[in-house]
Amino acid sequence: MRAGDTLAQIAARFGVSLPELMRLNQLTNPNLIAVGQRLLIPAETNTQVLPTGVTLAPQNVAQGETLTLAVAAPDATDMQGALDKQDLHFRRVGDTWYALAGISRCANYVGNFPVALTWRDAQGNAQPMQFDVHVNAGAFGVQDLTLTAQMSALLDPAIMNAENALVGETVGAFTAEQKWQGKFRLPLDVKNPRISTTFGERRSYNGGAPGLCGHEGTDYAVAGGTPVYAPAGGVVVLAEPLKVRGNVVFIDHGRGVFSAFYHLDKIIAKQGQRVQAGDLVAQVGTTGFSTGYHLHWSMWVNGVYVNPSQWMEQEIP
């Protein structure tokens, strides 16, 4: 152990889960560690043995990514399952069943996590499957921020907890219809906008310890008033001012996939409005917990924050 190290940071550095590291070193409290203390690191366990007919994309998934599970089961009439504690929602395309899973960006979500699936045939016979998915550590930087007293006040647990509960309820809803097609687009008509804060970047406030989970989305440093467009088809499910996130627009893309834009100046889209990729929904601002004009874009899959850039780079089925 070195000065400033935390057990969660060490676990992420070596690609193991925090519980695995604690169990191997017989630790009961991750905060009771000392400088100079020697730790045992579990052997590499990232080999995945998948049942016949099961494929993963990406094959080597990392923190903050969206994982697609595909199961070839032409005789199945129904498919259900879970990855760790996350329910999976399958849809059938031909003879293959697809489900999306959000992989947590948090520092302790590294290592092997169980998948349990059950599908039924036309006679109602259950066919169980069990296997592990290995989650690799993501590469996240650290950002040091100095907050004014006014901004620090917004981090009051009473304010944060109430707002997080509203956000969690909003993105925890599930609609089966897939409302998007193809890759997502950048929500700005600005060529190569500067990214001021990346997804998952750990943040230190006023010299404190960095948080375990990091930034909820991607920040684009663009001028105030810049138009903001829907990145893909969906339905606007929240369009109102919040205390921390400022003026927001949330879009339900279906199948547990959501986008949201924070700190907006003007909200243009209306709650309940159906939008297509490229529809104008807002203008960039600096409302709420913000140090300057920028567009914050968050995405969720099954209520888990995921990296929006993956959705622009890949067509996710």
Does 40 share its domain with 62?
no
Query: What is the CATH number for 255?
Result: 2.70.70.10
pLDDT for 146: 84
| Structural domain includes residue 213 | yes
pLDDT for 18: 66
* Containing structural domain, residue 281: 142-313
| Structural domain includes residue 122 | yes
pLDDT for 220: 98
Does 163 share its domain with 205?
yes
Query: What is the CATH number for 28?
Result: 3.10.350.10
Pairing of strands 142-145, 202-205: parallel
In angstroms, the CA 73 to CA 252 distance is: 29
Does 305 share its domain with 161?
yes
pTM for this one? Answer: 0.84
pLDDT for 82: 98
How do the pLDDT tens digits run along the chain, 317 residues long?
566 677 777 776 665 666 667 766 777 676 777 777 877 766 554 557 899 999 999 988 999 999 999 999 999 999 999 999 999 999 999 999 999 999 999 988 999 999 999 999 989 999 999 999 999 988 888 888 888 888 899 989 999 999 999 999 999 999 999 999 999 999 999 999 999 999 999 988 888 888 889 999 999 999 999 999 999 999 999 999 999 999 999 999 999 999 999 999 999 999 999 999 999 999 999 999 999 999 999 999 999 999 999 999 999 98
Does 169 share its domain with 254?
yes
pLDDT for 46: 52
| Structural domain includes residue 49 | no
pLDDT for 14: 65
